[in-house]
A and B are shown apart, each in its own frame.
Chain A
Amino acid sequence: MDRPADCYHCGEPVPDGPAIVALLQGVDQPMCCVGCKAVAEFIQSSGLTAFYEHRDQPDADLNLTPEATDWQRFDSADLLNRYVFADDDHAEATIDIGGMYCSACVWLFDNALEGLAGIDAVDVNPATRRSVVRWQPDQLQFSEVLAAIARVGFKPSPVAAGEISASTEDEYKVALKRLIVAAAAGMQVMMFAVALYAGDYFGIEGTIEKFLRTISLLVTIPIVFYSARPFFTGAWRGIRARNPGMDLPVSIAILVAFTASTYATWVNHGDIYFDSVAMFVFFLSATRFLEMRARHRADDHALALAQLLPDTAIRVTDGETEIVLLDQLRPGDTLSIRPGDVLPADGRIISGELCLDESMLTGESMPVQHVSSTEVLAGAVVRRGNAMLTVSRTGASTSLAEIGRMLDRAKADRPPIALLADRIASRFVVGVLAIATSSAIAWYFIDPARAFEVALATLVVTCPCALALATPAAIAAATARLAKSGFLLVRSRILEVFNLADVIVLDKTGTLTEGRPVVLKTEVLTSDAPDSDELLAIAAAIETASEHVLARGFSLFYAPGKFSPKDVVVIPGHGVEAIVDGSRYRIGAAKFVAGLSRSELPTTGEAGNTEVFLGDERKVLARFDVGDELRADARTAIDALKRSGFVPIIASGDREPAVRRVANQLSIDSWHAGLSPAAKLDLIHELRDQGRTVIMVGDGINDAPVLAAADASIALDAGTALARASADAVSLGRKLGSIVTAADVASRTRRIIRQNIAWAIVYNATAVPLAVSGLLAPWMAAIGMSASSLIVVVNALRLHRAEPDGAGNTRQAGSQVIEREAIS
């Protein structure tokens, strides 16, 4: 053929005969027909010739699942830093799994990944559609993990800690659309159904009846094939995984009712159930929608965390400032921080002071003052102050990212009770199908005309949706509730242990106490000395030179610029000597300080604290009692725990006097001092051998083996070392009260799970006989089943509400206010 080309516009062959051409941008282009020529010229006259350039590219934007090659971009250093947390020999990433509906999907997912060499652990939660995958980076690339997930038909999207997951948004929009379609079309179907029912009573003309039935059929089509599609997808996955979920009976009910009604419409004879189908799909979609909202609400804290970080930071290099993207920050960079900023990375203050609101990180509502050379964390909001910061950790290594990962891990972790519920629900599905089939057979002999209707009602009403939702919904709500008050569940089994435990073993230093020395008491030893504040300020000024751990106890009293010590000499093991305002001072041990004035040794105070003396060349001026202070709310927290029936036990490695003093202050009868880590371990084993259930509270780093030995463990204020904490839960604040809150939420969670399961069982036990005996019409079954699921979800959502009383209550209210300020 001598035709030069296909039609420039539509791509079809140009027919024989006189050529048609269109002058487009000065070039004659061949056209197959006058229509194409008209469209092409119209496109040109509208100034939209760019259309022809764009259409030649494959529809990259329409193809939502990237091809395998596209995953490789996730192996680039920037994206790895953003999405993957790596330590020596492990890598870990949080991945949202689009298209996951049920526990069967989890099975499919697990199988797909565990077949890969180099995968260490896979945690998935079908309720949150989020997985935490750990693998060995030397054996497996991140892209291979993602590709493996995509291969089994899911849509993986890696979640950077600090980023709203796109699939959450998508999921919400799509679910809303499906719901709206089901509602709008369902309303129409209901109207026709009412007309038809009325027609049954008052008589209706045959053609009008046929018309109404046909229209009902047409309007039901989008409900079945659009709104109800998630149920079919879920059912199909269940069949593929040989682990049928609750979607299977739902799908069968919808399809059977729809097919039978379509046939009835076609032959113009028999009952139609379009109204039941419409209602069933609508109510069930509404329940799923609410459940999804609940899940997303559980994500809110993580999302709020994610939104915390700014997009850019101000980097200072050799005196030059530049604005850089967060991804470009590297450890060692120097950043300029101003009031109102959100810290973009973890780092150390090198100059200046910052007053930081860390409520999102710790649940602590009061701003905290940070001075030079202290560590500060990404995500903290600067209330006051300017500072220069040296970056220590960025991206996925920050504490903020670690908190996000912990939340993810908690959500991906399913406690035994949830696994049990999954298993029961799966067996139940088989039972439902059996019951529906047998009732169909039985009714075929009793009254064949009603057999179909009864079987349909049975199938719908017995669907164990409520049972399957009972536990995950409650645990998701509890996790979200606790995260908000700074208590992160790493493994949600701790919620169950809280309800069984009778003993709480607490470490002293850093747990019951602040874990850092402070000046508890100042005693002025001479009558002609300056007042105690003045002396403290002098002492603090001199101690800034010292690296000694006790010296840090004075940092609170340091007033920059007031005193400037000169000729500072640090004598290790003794103290510091310096000249302040022309006078020579010594601070430190009694002998060293008394040596300056050659006076006799000063008196000592009560036991349990360390004493630091200050003296000049004339005499010893003051004694400072430096010790580890009790946490502000230790007393109320311990009292509350005792009231809840826990026996508190102190297990400390510290000296006996210090431990005894703390035990007395807190009225704790059982305490052990001077314990080595091994002895602490023995203590835990001994308690467990006595049949006690033990929760261990420690700092999570020094006593990791002890934490692991207990039934459940809580790491307190692990601060910058979160990643190494090996506990079941981490309390981020500087208060013990969150443990009381957690105990309270745990007991409420158990109550709600029990209520939910009890309700689900009672519902099914009543509904099944009613349906089997033919007392329920399919539409009643649709309402009953949907309502029972709705009740379960709404009941779980009650956990979000603040508890009526308890230590955590006021704190919670306070931190919520701060959180809102931080977000807005």
Chain B
Amino acid sequence: MSSDLLLPAAFLAGFFGGTHCIGMCGAIVILFEQQVQPGLRQWLRRLSYNFGRLGFYVLLGTVAGAGGAVLTKVAGVNTGLLILRFLAGFLVIAIGLNLLFNWSATRFLEQAGAGVWRRLSPLAKHVLPVSTPARALAAGFLWGALPCGLVYSAVAMAASSGNAQNGAMVMLAFWLGTMPALVLAGASAERLNRWRTNQAFRRFAGALIIIVGLFALMPMTKVFASSI
């Protein structure tokens, strides 16, 4: 069905929501890099973190997609997808509202995620310092587990994608969307920070993300209409 629309939606959510990543996760990059010699392999390390992160996202997406599939089996295709798609759309819109009105609508989810992170974070100490690409990969994987509303909204989209494979693809698209922001993270934080904390810019990004959310909801209106 309309999982083809989900991919651009996930990408755009990552792209516009990613500005938050710079502030939050830029620190992670700098932290990782602090204890290693800069040099020729820096780009390799940065690539490895992000591929590690992709690994975790794809895992989440696969599980969510499979879970969504089970739900649709149980609840009936239309009803199940309807619920999931609305959930995803509202989550994306919540992220946008977060930026637009400075109101944290996804905190309850993040709190839940923080529980997961608390279990995983001790592992991070084993991969620091990031001296080899393999360690960078592992560090990136753990990084993916940081509690983040944006990621959860993407996971919700993955859940509504119909099957595990599509779920993984949605997360891949989301990951691609966050790449520009995260490649910049740690590069020239000073200028980015000014730009990122700028109210007008935040509102602009928030509005766009809400549009993306509506975009994700749109096909469902048809399903909704047809099911009524």
Interface status of B149 (Cβ within 8 A of chain A): yes
Contacts of B124 in A (CB 8 A): 42, 46
Q: How far is the CA of A20 from the CA of B111 in the complex (A)?
A: 10
Q: Pick the contact of A9 from B24, B30, B196 — CB < 8 Å? A: B24
Q: How many angstroms between the C-alpha atoms of A37 and B24 in the bound complex?
A: 9
Mask: chain B, 39-70; 1 = CB below 8 Å from A; 0 = not: 01000000000000000000000000000000
Q: How far is the CB of A9 from chain B (nearest CB, A)?
A: 7
A62: min CB distance to chain B, Å: 6
Are A11 and B34 neighbours in the complex by a CB distance under 8 Å? no
Inter-subunit contact B30/A33 (CB<8 Å): no
CB distance from B6 to the nearest CB of A (A): 21
Report the minimal beta-carbon distance from A483 to chain B, rounded to whole angstroms: 32
* Closest-CB distance, A23 to chain B (whole angstroms): 15
Decide yes or no whether A48 CB sits under 8 A from chain B: yes
Tell whether, in the assembled complex, residue A51 and residue B30 are in contact, meaning their CB atoms are under 8 Å apart. yes
Contact between B188 and A51 (Cβ–Cβ < 8 Å)?
A: no
User: Contacting A38 at CB < 8 Å: which of B40, B117, B197, B202?
Assistant: B117
Q: Smallest Cβ distance from A18 to chain B, in angstroms?
A: 8
| Contacts of B182-204 to chain A: CB distance below 8 A | 187-190, 193, 196-197, 202
With the chains together, A173 CA to B34 CA distance in Å?
A: 22
**Given known contacts A34-B110, A34-B111, A45-B121, A55 and B27 CB-to-CB distance under 8 angstroms:** yes
Q: Mark A37-74, 1 if CB is under 8 A from B, else 0.
A: 11100110110100100010011001000000000000
Partner of B148, one of A16, A20, A35, A46: A35
Given contact pairs A15-B98, A46-B125, A46-B128, A10 touches B20 in the complex (Cβ within 8 A): yes
- B117 touching A9, Cβ below 8 Å: no
Check if A48 sits within 8 Å of B146, measured CB to CB.
no
Asked if A110 is an interface residue, CB under 8 A from chain B, the answer is no
Q: Cβ of A62: which chain B residues have Cβ within 8 Å of it? A: 187-188, 190
Is A35 a contact partner of B27 (Cβ separation < 8 A)? no
How many A residues touch B, CB cutoff 8 Å?
31
Known: A35-B146, A48-B34. A59 touches B190 (CB 8 A): yes
- Residues 625-647 of A contacting B (Cβ, < 8 Å): none
Q: Is the CB of B188 within 8 A of A59?
A: yes
Q: Is the CB of B24 within 8 A of A39?
A: yes
- Contact residue among A9, A11, A35, A59 (Cβ-Cβ distance under 8 Å from B197): A11
Closest to B110 in A: A34
Contact of B188 with A16 in the complex, beta carbons under 8 Å: no
Q: A42-B124, A55-B30 are in contact. Are A33 and B107 (CB under 8 A)?
A: yes
Q: Chain A contacts of B121 at CB under 8 A?
A: 38, 42, 45
In the assembled complex, A144 has its CB within 8 A of some CB on chain B? no
B214 adjacent to chain A (CB < 8 Å): no
* Contact yes or no, B24 A36, CB < 8 A: yes
Within 8 Å of chain B (Cβ to Cβ): is A6? yes
B27→A43 contact, CB < 8 A: yes
Q: In the bound complex, how far is the Cα of B107 from the Cα of A33, in angstroms? A: 7
- Tell me if B23 is interfacial: C-beta within 8 Å of chain A: yes
A9 to B24, CA, bound (A): 7
Q: Does B102 contact A (CB under 8 A)?
A: yes
* A7 is an interface residue with CB less than 8 A from chain B: yes
A48 to B31 alpha-carbon distance, docked (Å): 8
- Chain A residues closer than 8 Å to B104, beta-carbon distance: 15-17, 32-33
Q: Is A9 a contact partner of B113 (Cβ separation < 8 A)?
A: no
The answer to whether B147 touches A34, judged by C-beta atoms less than 8 angstroms apart, is yes
Given A13-B102, A38-B147, A39-B146, A7-B107 contact (CB < 8 Å) = no
A242 interface hit (Cβ, 8 Å): no
A293 within 8 A of B: no
Tell me if B25 is interfacial: C-beta within 8 Å of chain A.
yes
Task: Say yes or no: A46 contacts B31, CB within 8 Å.
Answer: yes
Residue of B nearest to A61 (CB): B38
Q: Which of B30, B104, B187 has the largest number of chain A CB atoms within 10 A?
A: B104
By a CB distance below 8 angstroms, the chain B residues around A173 are 40
Q: How far is the CA of A34 from the CA of B20 in the complex (A)?
A: 13
Are B27's CB and A51's CB within 8 A?
Answer: yes
Q: How far is the CA of A7 from the CA of B24 in the complex (A)?
A: 10
Name the CB-closest residue of A to B97. A15
A567 vs B189: C-alpha distance when bound (angstroms) = 82
Q: How far is the CA of A51 from the CA of B188 in the complex (A)?
A: 15
Residue from A33, A43, A45, A62 having most chain B Cβ neighbours under 10 A: A33
* Neighbouring B residues of A32 by C-beta, 8 Å: 104
Q: Are A7 and B23 in contact (CB under 8 A)?
A: yes
Instruction: Check B102–A16 contact: CB distance below 8 A.
Output: yes
> Which chain A positions have C-beta within 8 A of B102?
13, 15-16
Which of the four size classes fits the interface of chain B? 35 or more
Whether a CB of chain A sits under 8 angstroms from the CB of B87 is no
Contact flags A15-35 to B (C-beta < 8 A → 1, else 0): 111001000000000001111
Pair A34/B24 contact, Cβ less than 8 Å: no
Q: Is A177 an interface residue (CB 8 A)?
A: yes
Interface residue A12 (Cβ < 8 Å from any Cβ of B): yes
Is B114 touching A37 in the complex (CB atoms < 8 A)?
yes
Q: How far is the CB of A317 from chain B (nearest CB, A)?
A: 41
Q: Is B224 an interface residue (CB 8 A)?
A: no
* Least distance between B27 CB and chain A CB atoms (Å): 6
Q: With both chains docked as a complex, state the minimum distance between the C-beta of A661 and any C-beta of chain B, in angstroms.
A: 66
B28 at the interface (CB under 8 A from A): yes
Q: Which residues of B contact A45 (CB under 8 A)?
A: 121, 125
Q: Is the CB of A33 within 8 A of B149?
A: yes
A51 to B32, CA, bound (A): 11
What separation, in Å, do the CA atoms of A55 and B188 have in the docked complex?
11
Contact B27 A39 (CB under 8 A): yes
**Given A51-B31, A55-B30: A17 touches B24 (CB 8 Å cut-off):** no
List A contacts of B128 (CB < 8 A). 46
Instruction: Please give, as numbers and ranges, the residues of chain A lying within 8 Å of B107 by CB-CB distance.
Output: 15, 17, 20, 33-34
Contacts of A37 in B (CB 8 A): 114
Known contacts A13-B102, A177-B40; is A38 also within 8 Å of B27 by CB? no
The answer to whether B110 and A33 have CB atoms under 8 Å apart is yes
**CA–CA, A38 and B114, complex, Å:** 7
| Per-residue contact bits, chain B 141-156, to A (CB 8 Å; 1 contact, 0 not) | 0000011110000000
A16 neighbours in B (Cβ, 8 Å): 102-104
B39 to nearest A CB, angstroms? 9
The closest CB in chain B to the CB of A48 belongs to B31
| Known pairs A33-B149, A35-B148; A51 contacts B34 (CB<8 A) | yes
What CA separation (Å) do A55 and B24 show in the bound complex?
Answer: 13
Which residues of A are found within 8 Å of B20, using beta-carbon distances?
A: 10, 12
Known: A38-B117, A55-B30, A177-B40. A10 touches B23 (CB 8 A): yes
A39 to B196, CA, bound (A): 19
Inter-chain contact B149/A10, CB cutoff 8 Å: no
Contacts of B189 in A (CB 8 A): 55, 59
Residues in chain B near residue A11, CB distance under 8 A? 23, 193, 196-197
Alpha-carbon distance A20/B108, docked complex (angstroms) = 12
A6 x B197 contact (CB < 8 A)? yes
Shortest distance from the beta carbon of A46 to any chain B beta carbon, whole Å: 6
Pick the contact of A12: B23, B40, B113 (CB < 8 A). Answer: B23
User: For residues 122 through 139 of chain B, which have their beta carbon under 8 Å from a beta carbon of chain A?
Assistant: 124-125, 128
Let me know if A34 and B113 touch, CB within 8 A: yes
Residues on B facing A (Cβ under 8 Å):
20, 23-28, 30-31, 34, 40, 98, 102-104, 107, 110-111, 113-114, 117-118, 121, 124-125, 128, 146-149, 187-190, 193, 196-197, 202
State the 5 A-B residue pairs at the shortest beta-carbon distance, nearest first: A10-B23, A34-B110, A15-B104, A34-B147, A35-B148
Not counting A12-B196, A62-B190, a sample of 6 additional A-B residue pairs whose C-beta atoms are within 8 angstroms of each other reads A10-B27, A15-B104, A38-B114, A55-B27, A58-B190, A177-B40
29 A-B pairs with C-beta separation under 8 A? A9-B27, A10-B20, A10-B23, A11-B193, A12-B197, A12-B202, A13-B197, A16-B102, A16-B104, A17-B104, A17-B107, A32-B104, A33-B24, A33-B110, A34-B111, A35-B146, A35-B149, A38-B118, A38-B121, A38-B146, A38-B147, A39-B28, A46-B124, A46-B125, A51-B27, A55-B189, A59-B190, A62-B188, A173-B40
**Chain A positions near chain B (C-beta within 8 angstroms):** 6-7, 9-13, 15-17, 20, 32-39, 42-43, 45-46, 48, 51, 55, 58-59, 62, 173, 177
